[in-house]
Structure 1
């Protein structure tokens, strides 16, 4: 049997509209070959999640996922173009509910969002999955491309906090949304990578306060 990967497919794009709510990535996927059943796709995603939990990133491979799922490697490669694309869909299955309460201030909204994301990474497999995706992206160009696409599609979840502040008239006229989103993402990633995912309310409030001071009207 020829185990060479078939024509790779890009990572699935998630079109969910509710901030932080994921659906199984395979459900809406169409392949280059015969259409897969949802049950088969779910079996592959389940196998990938279980393998990562048991063996970690170092022990994760498409070959091992295929064995666990009872699927052929070429079949998996028709749907995902590598480890990162597969892991991104596993990550998208996790359920993150970002608090959407309007606290009345940018500082309050941002601190609440930071706490929600940190807790999500800590209390679900999502933190380990996302760390593995970042690691894969450091040496694999296709993984880096998939990660960049994934992040670009989800920036609006964090941006919603600042759009509410803009609607309230809080933001300075020179406010730069893209740069501010990079700063907020960097703060979260730094904590993810060194496993500082505790409910550090003081730290979240302090960071949110500093951001608010820099972007709100004086």
Structure 2
């Protein structure tokens, strides 16, 4: 199974264009992760990360344009790869995604991290750009889930897979931001069925 989180993070790093020392990079990410999950968002800052990692602030800012970009990489380090499983059906894939994301957000503190990232993006242009880049990557990944269904003949050929991915993302973001993370498997099964039913190919 592909570790999409690692692949996406690597792609972002290549796009920055700055050569990174792997040991220093790992020290910064470990320090950032430890701060988030020991001190919470209130204790997280580039200064605190630099001190803990014994790295210079200019080095951190060279590789991450702001703390939101760094937080997104921390978020990726803890995100399970199996939220994007190929179960053999679109409904099964959607259910696996919903279950995995909500467990991750609810059990690890990652939900609070992501809520903070979304809030920062409303007031800071650098944070907004980092979130937009992240969202574009997630849209491609979510689209692939529905593209598999089209390729199998399970979904109608004219389904807009990007739009379907937006609908799926919109649902989980709305639940996170309104404090309604769903954990009941029966209710999630209903959500997955309802989301997919309107996309089915005729006769299925």
Q: What TM-score range do you get, normalising by the shorter chain?
A: 0.7 to 0.9
**For the residues of structure 1 that align with 2:150 and 2:11, how far apart are their CA atoms?**
36
Does 1:67 pair with 2:67? no
| Kept in 2: contact 1:43–1:69 (CA 8 A) | yes
Residues 22 and 94, structure 1, Cα contact 8 Å, conserved in 2: no
- Could you say what the CA RMSD is over the residues aligned between the two structures, in angstroms? 2.9
Q: Is the 8 A contact 1:66 1:72 kept in 2?
A: yes
CA 1:19/1:73 → structure 2, altered by over 3 Å: closer, same or farther?
closer
- Are the equivalent residues in 2 in contact too, given 1:119–1:199 (CA < 8 A)? yes
Largest Rg, 1 or 2: 1
How many residue pairs get matched? Answer: 199
TM-score (norm 1): 0.77
* Change in CA separation of 1:24 and 1:38 when aligned onto 2, cut-off 3 Å: farther
Higher relative contact order (CA 8 A, sep 6+): 1
Matched, 1:158 2:142: yes
**Structure 1 stretches of at least 4 aligned residues deviating more than 6 Å after TM superposition:** 30-33
Q: CA deviation at 1:26?
A: 7.7
Shift of 1:135: 1.9
Q: Are residue 215 (structure 1) and residue 199 (structure 2) matched?
A: yes
TM-score of the two chains, using structure 2 as the length reference: 0.82
CA gap 1:69/1:19 in 2 versus in 1, 3 angstroms: closer
Query: Structure 2: any 5+ residue segments left out of the alignment?
Result: none
In structure 1, the residue matched to 2:116 is 132
Question: Which of 196, 204, 218 matches 2:188?
Answer: 204
Within 1, Cα distance between the matches of 2:173 and 2:189? 17
Would you tell me which structure has more helix in proportion to its own residues? 2
Q: In the superposition, relative to structure 1, how do residues 68 and 26 fare at CA in structure 2: closer, same or farther (>3 Å)?
A: farther
1:23–1:93 Cα contact (<8 Å) kept: no
Match of 1:81 among 55, 59, 65: 65
CA shift at 1:129, angstroms? 2.7
